[in-house]
């Protein structure tokens, strides 16, 4: 009788696949399925009804806009962290210090920022104390849409630029220094070197960081919104992921609509990936052609 042999090379990947299936694949298909069925009593298939209810919500466009607005943190964070790394790249010791210091905001839990900022921008917070000291009227910062979104984006940037510095400092260290030296000999300005040499040559690192940060912006800002505004006033600072929470876990939960909202978020993420892949493919073709 032939003895069944397990190829040990497959065991650990198999465990990972089983784990990923349990944590990601099954919930994904469950969410997708539930977005097409009624979760209010009877579990009947209702087609796109949950999506119709989601899209016809009076504040759906506001929530989608808020979600996309948060993503503006991605290019800003990339630019800031990349510029800081480039600025200090000539001094390795200083760059090392900056890298360590800038990681502190990254390792602090986002919920801590939420509480700190709620104290700073609360009506009786230090921001209004400063306003009064400067002879301005105090404001309800967290009741203002523009101010709230700006605050949330600022926190995302503050909490993630350390990770960017860490990644980009490795990228620049791995970059062939002769390119920069040759450009300097040719009389290029620092700005020209930054945009014409540094950025194109560390594209893969930028891509990795932008994808991870984009995902975080779309799906990870929930605790900040919960602590700062509860998505309000009204739906002014509600994003799609916060709306998913409202529909899934608050009051008379409506999982169908919550799942539809989660699927829409996934589509936004897929659109971003599609755009990135398209840009890379076109970029490569252009590079080959030129």
Q: Do residues 263 and 32 touch, judged by C-beta distance below 8 A? A: yes
Footprint on residues 174-213 left by another protein (CB under 8 A): none
Question: Measured from the CB atom, is 122 or 223 closer to another protein?
Answer: 122
Which one of 66-74, 83-91, 247-255, 265-273 is the stretch in contact with another protein (CB under 8 A)?
Answer: 247-255
268 binds another protein (CB under 8 A): no
Measured from the CB atom, is 157 or 257 closer to another protein?
Answer: 257
Site pattern 3..42 for another protein (x: CB under 8 A): ---x-x--xx--x---x--x------------------x-
Taking CB under 8 A as the binding criterion, the range among 24-32, 97-105, 195-203, 243-251 that sits at the site for another protein is 243-251
In the block, residue with structure tokens 């916060």: 242
43 backbone dihedrals φ, ψ, rounded to 5°: -100, 65
Buried (b) or exposed (e) across 155-187, using 16+ Cβ within 10 A?
bbbbbbbbbbbbbbbebbeebeeeebeebeeee
Instruction: Give yes or no for a contact between 206 and 229, defined as CB atoms under 8 angstroms apart.
Output: no
**289 is an interface residue for another protein by CB under 8 A:** no
Q: Is 230 one of the binding residues for another protein (CB under 8 A)?
A: yes
The answer to whether residue 252 forms part of the interface with another protein (CB under 8 A) is yes
Q: What residues pair up with 37 in beta bridges, in sequence order? A: 45
Nearest to 124 by CA among 138, 103, 108, 113: 138
The answer to whether 266 contacts another protein (rule: CB under 8 A) is no
Instruction: Check binding of 142 to another protein (CB under 8 A).
Output: yes
Minimum CB distance to another protein, residue 122 (Å) = 7
Answer yes or no whether residue 140 interacts with another protein by CB under 8 A: yes
- Is 235 one of the binding residues for another protein (CB under 8 A)? yes
CB 153 within 8 A of CB 102: no
Helix (H) or strand (E) holding 289: helix 255-289
Among 143, 147, 207, 269, binds another protein (CB under 8 A): 143
Q: Taking the complex as a whole, how short is the minimal distance between the CB of residue 170 and another protein, in angstroms?
A: 32
Of 75, 109, 203, 234, the one binding another protein (CB under 8 A) is 234
Q: ∠268-274-280 over CA atoms, to 5°?
A: 140
Site string for another protein, 45-84 (x = CB under 8 A): -------------x--------------------------
- Token output for 260: 């539809």
Contacts of 26 (CB under 8 A, 6+ apart): none
Instruction: Give the burial string for 108-139 (b: 16+ CB within 10 Å, else e).
Output: eebeebbeebbeebeeebebbeeeeeeeeeee
Which residues, including other chains, have CB under 8 Å from residue 259's CB and lie 6 or more apart? 31, 32, 34, 35, 39, 50
**Which two three-digit tokens encode residue 49?**
């009804």
- Is residue 129 involved in binding another protein (CB under 8 A)? no
Place of tokens 């989608």: 64
Q: Is 223 in the site for another protein (CB under 8 A)?
A: no
Which of 48, 123, 195, 208 binds another protein (CB under 8 A)? It is: 123
Residues in touch with another protein (CB under 8 A): 6, 8, 11-12, 15, 19, 22, 41, 58, 122-124, 138, 140, 142-143, 229-236, 246, 248-254
């Amino acid at each position: 009788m032939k003895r069944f042999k397990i190829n040990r090379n497959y065991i650990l990947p198999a465990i990972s696949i089983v784990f990923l299936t349990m944590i990601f694949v099954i919930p994904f298909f469950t969410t997708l399925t539930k977005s097409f069925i009624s979760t209010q009593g009877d579990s009947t298939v209702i087609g796109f009804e949950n999506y119709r209810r989601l899209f016809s919500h009076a504040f759906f466009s506001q929530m989608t806009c808020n979600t996309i607005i948060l993503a503006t943190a991605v290019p800003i964070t990339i630019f800031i962290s990349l510029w800081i790394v480039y600025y200090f790249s000539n001094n390795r010791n200083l760059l090392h210090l900056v890298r360590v210091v800038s990681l502190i905001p990254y390792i602090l839990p986002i919920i801590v920022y939420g509480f700190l900022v709620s104290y700073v921008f609360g009506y009786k917070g230090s921001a209004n104390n400063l306003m009064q000291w400067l002879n301005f009227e105090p404001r309800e910062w967290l009741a203002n849409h523009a101010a709230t979104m700006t605050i949330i984006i600022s926190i995302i940037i503050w909490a993630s630029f350390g990770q960017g510095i860490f990644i980009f400092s490795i990228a620049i260290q791995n970059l062939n220094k002769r390119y920069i030296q040759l450009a300097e000999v040719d009389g290029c300005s620092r700005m020209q070197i930054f945009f014409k040499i540094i950025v194109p040559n560390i594209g893969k690192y930028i891509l990795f960081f932008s994808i991870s940060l984009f995902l975080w912006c779309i799906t990870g800002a929930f605790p900040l919104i919960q602590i700062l505004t509860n998505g309000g006033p009204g739906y002014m600072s509600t994003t799609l992921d916060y709306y998913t929470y409202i529909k899934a876990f608050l009051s008379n939960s409506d999982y169908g609509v919550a799942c539809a909202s989660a699927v829409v978020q996934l589509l936004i993420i897929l659109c971003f990936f599609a755009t990135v892949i398209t840009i890379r493919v076109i970029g490569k073709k252009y590079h080959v052609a030129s």
